[in-house]
Structure 1
């Protein structure tokens, strides 16, 4: 077929777009897929320099569009997960704690709070400043007006007391 015939096919695609889209929609069951198939058909026909004998240009365009739609569906199907792949994804461990773990953690936290309340106020404040607020030892010493050595000693005593009380609670 000549370049003039190829131009005729391109022109028919534009002129009969709505009709072709309706036919494709009925055949494919999706207006969106029909539109995408016609777009792909336009691109395929635009890339061709020459074609053989075409007896019915409308049917030729329809066939190119159907082939494009099939290619799209094949591509989409290859991206679809198999049942085994879906099962594998469902078996991924949930990082969230289960209710039992939440209950245990809350109980542990209440126990730690109770132990901390048993500490002398300054010792508790020094421990919380060092561990919770991550305050440097020098700043703790300056804030409480005590020596760096005394900060270290209070921290050590607070930690030893908390560990001993925790161990006794666990028994």
Structure 2
């Protein structure tokens, strides 16, 4: 079973990094998230029944990426950090833009959590993981047109939640 886990990880590693990068904001942190996900995934009890190991691995990556984003936001709010940050040249968004982007990311994360599992997974695999509709359809054992509809529904749901955010 350990070899199966390793093969699954190696097969999906690049897509997992691509999946985590937009959430954490850079590829280097995404690499760290994927590595941590592998450690957690590999230590998982082989006797436990995981019906969709790839989906489980994507969920670990998503959760770790969101945790890291929250942790980074908290670390930025540390006392004395403003003076240090003010001395560094900025190549990123303004503080207002960063807060707005973090709020949008949090709203999208909440919106994705509200979705049914299959809809969320189809969206994450296609839009965040870079998988083709055909690959997602094969993975979920549904038609390509249904995957297209699921992704569309997820996008619409996220947009509605973003428009409803203050």
> TM-score, with normalisation over the residues of structure 1?
0.42
State which structure, 1 or 2, has the greater radius of gyration over its C-alpha atoms: 1
